[in-house]
Amino acid sequence: MEISTLAAYHCLAFVWYFFIAYSITHVRTEERPSEVFLYGGQWKYLTVLNLVLQAVFYGVSFLADVLRLIKNLRCAKCVISSRDLLFSVLAFPVSTFVAISFWTLYTYNRELVYPKSLDGVIPLWLNHAMHTAVLPFAVLEILATPHRYPAKKKGLVLLGFVAFLYISWVLWIYSVTGEWVYPLFALFSPGGLAAFFAGSLAIIISFYNFGEFLNRMIWGQSKFCF
């Protein structure tokens, strides 16, 4: 894909994610179901954090494209390294995890992850923007441009650290409010919950490996060309 076309795409994707993140964080207070938006507000939900992550990633990607267009290759190289690290370790695996885990649990029992009371607050299009569109966006990014993945150990350590931070945030909210971020967690014993978190981490690691596999299959081991 031409750099100018890629820049236009990344700009549009950034604007889209910024708009979606803005929309979900500005749901009118009087319309929020009290049992859903407790301590931590929307910032306790992985879905919302992922929207911010995607906006940051596409913003960095757009900046890298602009630097390449103006031939500032020294700065572009640094920004591209940051872009690739963001995509490989977080943007692709988290988006894939959000989309697949949400719709799997929603199909099984929506009350475990997305109570029916939210239907009157969050329109259908916004629900799909948060939980469906994130996956094709992630796949399209792999198709659009190659990304250099870090050493496997480094990538998995970074991914595990971010997962640990989010789990700690979830547990902290429970310790303060006595309410779980997702009703699903209330079904587990402490040991069961630990197993669920470990299983979720294993799944997101598999998505990391899948993204690396797709990137290699499509682009091979070729270096990024400036």
Task: For residue 196, give its domain range.
Answer: 5-29+39-219
Residue 226 lies in a domain: no
Measured CA distances, 100 to 90, 136, 137, 162, 223 (Å): 15, 12, 14, 19, 31
Distance CA 135, CA 201 (A): 18
- For position 72, what pLDDT does the model report? 78
Q: What is the pLDDT of residue 12?
A: 97
For residue 1, the model assigns a pLDDT of: 72
Domain contains 18 = yes
Residue 225 domain flag: no
Instruction: For the chain, list residues with pLDDT below 50.
Output: 29, 34, 222-226
**DSSP of 186-197:** GGS-HHHHHHHH
Count the domains in the chain.
1
Residue 180 belongs to some domain of the structure: yes
Please indicate, yes or no, if residue 160 is contained in any of the structural domains.
yes
* 224 domain residue, yes or no: no
Token pair in block for residue 42: 């929307």
34 part of a folded domain: no
pTM, rounded to two decimals: 0.91
**Inside any domain, residue 201:** yes
